[in-house]
Amino acid sequence: MADNFSIPAAQISRMGKWSTDMMINSYLTTVPYQFMKGIAGFHTHTEYHIPRGIEEPCKELKDLVFPMVL
């Protein structure tokens, strides 16, 4: 997760007291975020956030999805 915030690999490794191989195999994701953002047309050094939970679904929809909740 720290690699998502552009924290250098050396800092992540020091914090977890991991060897480079262990950190790469166990911690860092295989998704190249900068490449994925750039190829999708987004700025590569900009954080994007999609807020969740800002819309309240209607009661009918809630009842369909969660009939066991009163």
Q: Kindly report the average pLDDT of the chain as a whole number.
A: 75
Q: What is the pLDDT of residue 41?
A: 85
The Cα–Cα gap between 58 and 41 comes to 35
- In contact, 20 and 13? CB cutoff 8 Å: yes
| Distance between CA atoms of residues 58 and 48, nearest Å | 28
Lowest mean pLDDT among 30-34, 38-42, 62-66: 30-34
- pTM (2 d.p.): 0.34
* 54-70 residue pLDDT tens: 888 899 999 999 998 87
